[in-house]
Chains A and B, each alone.
Chain A
Amino acid sequence: MQTIQYAGQPIQINDEGFLTDSSQWTPEIAEEIARETGVGPLNERHWAVLTFCREDAAQQGTPPGLRRISKLAGVQMKELYTLFPKGPGKLAARIAGLPKPKSCI
């Protein structure tokens, strides 16, 4: 756990760079994490995904998986990989200020 300055605010993040308190998140923070992770400036399509992820996580209690994002946010899998290269599930969660999607071991 460490504290880092994002958009002029002290923000708590874990060792992998995920916000530990999702309520500290702001769109400005998202832009900064996007730059830092090489996703670059966020466009309308990025925001469609990020907004869906935040709304869905608030309802479900866990960040959505790729298939859920693709189906419910209406973004094809291939496009998800163009928007958030390498690991869209993980990257979208991190930029949206959500915890890392879970696995067992």
Chain B
Amino acid sequence: MKRLMILGAGTAGTMTANRLHKELGADWRITVVDPETRHLYQPGLLFLPFGRAREQDLERPRQRTLRRGIEWLNAPVEAIEPDRSRITVGGSHLEYDLLVIATGSQIRPEETPGMIGDHWYRDVFDFYTLEGATRLRSALAGFSGGRLVVNVVENPIKCPVAPLEFAFLADDYFTQRGIRDEVELIYVTPLDAAFTRPVASRALGSMLEEKGIRVETEFSAGELDGDRGLIRSYDEREVAYDLLVTVPTHMGAPVIETSGLGNELGFVPTDPHTLAAKEHENVFVLGDATDLPSSKAGSVAHFQSHVLAENIVRASQGRSLLESFDGHANCFVESGFGKALLIDFNYDVEPLPGTFPLPIVGPMSLLKETRRNHWGKLAFEWIYWNALLPGRPLPISNRMSMIGKRKLAA
């Protein structure tokens, strides 16, 4: 019996395990290692602070998300030793024939001096964890006016559009509460604009202005001064806040770093097209754990998992790997007031306007605010639990298609 080990049972690891359970021969045993007993629907965290999702609906028991026959070790991985093809769990060594690293990315607020301290979860919150999003909900409910700052500390981050969506939903939320005029919304980004790709910035550039959200660009937060209520950039600029919603530095799982497998942020160097680890033959990397320039997002993990499953099967048979991952990402972007945008892009093609063909429900508009896109985003939760995670086929190609897209001169 040969053994495939998958480290991490988040979106990427779970759907890959379920898919491979069907596709890999009976002489393979699949073992998933993850210390968390529950699976979290991460896209729901965006809605939680605004009372549009309930925490009990966002989690399901891990056991129910993995197909019968997949072994699950409910424990942390203590070490990965690719040179010996083994990992350490609970003090004992476990050998593998093929390894998939899907340990994801996590926020590290402690990387910013001053962020973790008396002010953390008092007037400084994240919304990338269940605890952060839940506590932020109480803080927002008690917020009656003042300056709310949304800050991305540094890139890459998980779901790169989420901070913008948060700002849009905050505008909606305070409007509904009738106190929008009392709230100053500021979006602070290390990039040179809120939308940096030429076509998206032309199509959407005025959105923030129309919503009355001020943008502070090229701001790399170097430290937080909680007593004075401000963030300071490396070039000594300051932005004051009454309530800070931070998207802290993201890094890979600590075990990647301690096993010496990561880059400067603990992400694993990965072949951009085959998803094989650059330095180890029988190791593959998936989802947020890679160092790839594709977005850290569930849709990307989904498109990658097609290529990865095929390549695992090929590797198990000693055949050459497909080089077919193209960086495809497909994301709904909530823009508030019951509308959303849809974007579809890859390594080489930036988000373009046009339509996105979908069987049955019909075409969705790209790079344009519509109600349909908003319903698409909400419907996605059902699709996530019932089709995506179980590894069932979805009518979306894993490679990006130009059908419906309008090419514009950049």
Contact = CB atoms under 8 A, between A and B. Distances in A.
Interface of A: 14-15, 61-62, 65-68, 71-72, 77-78, 80-82, 85-87, 90, 102-105
Interface residues of B, number: 34
B264 A78 contact: no
Nearest to B199: A105
Contact of A65 (B155, B195, B204): B155
B263 to A, nearest CB: 7
B220 A104 contact: no
B220 A81 contact: yes
Interface SS of chain B: helix, strand, loop or mixed? loop
Nearest to A69: B264
A66 B154 contact: yes
Contact of A103 (B160, B218, B220, B331): B160
Interface in B226-263: 233-235, 263
B343 A105 contact: yes
A80 B190 CA distance: 14
Given A78-B222, A85-B235, A105-B195, A67 B154 contact: yes
B197 A104 contact: yes
Contacts, number: 64
12 contacts: A65-B155, A66-B190, A67-B265, A81-B220, A82-B235, A87-B218, A103-B155, A103-B160, A104-B160, A105-B197, A105-B200, A105-B351
A68 B291 CA distance: 12
Interface of B: 154-156, 160-161, 164, 190-192, 195-198, 200, 204, 218, 220, 222, 233-235, 263-265, 272, 293, 295, 329, 331, 333, 343, 345, 351, 410
Nearest to B195: A105
Contact of A104 (B154, B161, B233, B234): B161
